[in-house]
Amino acid sequence: MDKNDVHKTNSFYWDTQGNDFLSAIVLPYYGAFVSEEKCQLFGDVSGKKLLEIGCGNGQSLQYQAERSASELWAVDISERQIKKAAQHLESYGLSAKLICSPMEDECGIPTAYFDYVYSIYAIGWTTDLEGTFQRIASYLKKDGVFIFSWSHPIHRSVTEDNGRFVFKKSYFDEAWYPVAVEGDLLLADRKLSTYVNALAKAGFVIEQMIEETDDEIMQSKDDNSDMAKRAKMFPVTFVIKARKLGELL
């Protein structure tokens, strides 16, 4: 699949459909059943410089601003999402430096500048995982932290058939394919090892990885949805906290 085709299709999707069909996933939630309030991956961000990759409507930026981050930046491929993020922040009297660009590209974000780079359900849209992780490493100061969540590849591979979960596609299949939503949207499901190896290659060390569904969140939501049924049986979200070790030679 050509990178430009993916960008054209997906930015058109986010510009026209936004989160109308895929509901927004924003901090404190990393996914439907995992929360920062329980996991405390960030800890205290007061006085810290943060960059969000794929900021969507800006609600996660609001969360970080309300926790006294000193500087907030974000990048998103969609002009409409950037506009929504700006409006959302403004309505709360907040602001961030917002850049409309694919995360894969050079777009004027400073290097060796941020204490944290984070991304909530956006990293997997990249057409170049290794290049994106290398770029993210370059934005971070030494010992800076990268936290991201994404759809778990097991969740993406499994479907329900007569009350049983079965594989509908190979876990190893990383090809781009059209997602079954209103409008055209392209997705690729990468193996967990692809993420782990790309992080290692970019000079990150993984400090924590979360795959579990949080029972308390599940019970508090009293959720009987298909997603909840899945989340009881296997991971639907994974979250990784990684630290930049130093400059790669």
Ligand X SMILES: C[S@@+](CC[C@H](N)C(=O)[O-])C[C@H]1O[C@@H](n2cnc3c(N)ncnc32)[C@H](O)[C@@H]1O
Give the residues across from 106 on adjacent strands: none
- Give yes or no for a contact between 16 and 183, defined as CB atoms under 8 angstroms apart: yes
Binding mask 46-75 for ligand X (x = CB under 6 A): --------x-xx--x--------------x
**Is residue 77 a contact residue for ligand X (CB under 6 A)?**
yes
10 binds ligand X (CB under 6 A): yes
For ligand X, what does the binding mask look like between residues 175 and 204, x meaning CB under 6 A? ------------------------------
14 binds ligand X (CB under 6 A): yes
* Residue 81 binds ligand X (CB under 6 A): yes
Would strands 71-76 and 49-53 be described as parallel, antiparallel, or unpaired? parallel
Residue 79 has φ and ψ, to the nearest 5°, of: -60, -40
- Could you tell me how far CA 215 lies from the centroid of its own chain? 22
Residue 22 and residue 86 in contact, taking contact as beta carbons nearer than 8 Å:
no
The token pair that represents 109 in the structure block: 């974000």
Binding mask 82-121 for ligand X (x = CB under 6 A): --------------------xxx---------------xx
91 vs 170 by CB, closer to ligand X = 91
Q: Where are the alpha helices (DSSP H) in 119-191?
A: 129-139, 153-157
Q: Give me 108's structure tokens.
A: 């004027």
Closer by beta carbon to ligand X, 77 or else 199: 77
Residue closer to ligand X (CB basis): 76 or 214:
76
Nearest residue to 213 via CA among 152, 171, 159 = 152
Stretch that binds ligand X, among 17-25, 35-43, 176-184, 212-220 (CB under 6 A): 17-25
Contact between 32 and ligand X per CB under 6 A? no
State CA 54 to chain mean position distance.
7
Q: Which of 122, 147, 236, 239 binds ligand X (CB under 6 A)?
A: 122
Nearer to ligand X, 11 or 157 (CB): 11
Secondary structure (DSSP) of 81-105: HHHHHHHHHHHTT---EEEES-TTS
Task: Return the number of the residue (111 or 170) whose C-beta is nearest ligand X.
Answer: 111
DSSP β-bridge partners for residue 238: 150
* Positions that interact with ligand X (CB under 6 A): 10, 14, 19, 22, 24-26, 54, 56-57, 60, 75-78, 81, 102-104, 120-122, 125-126
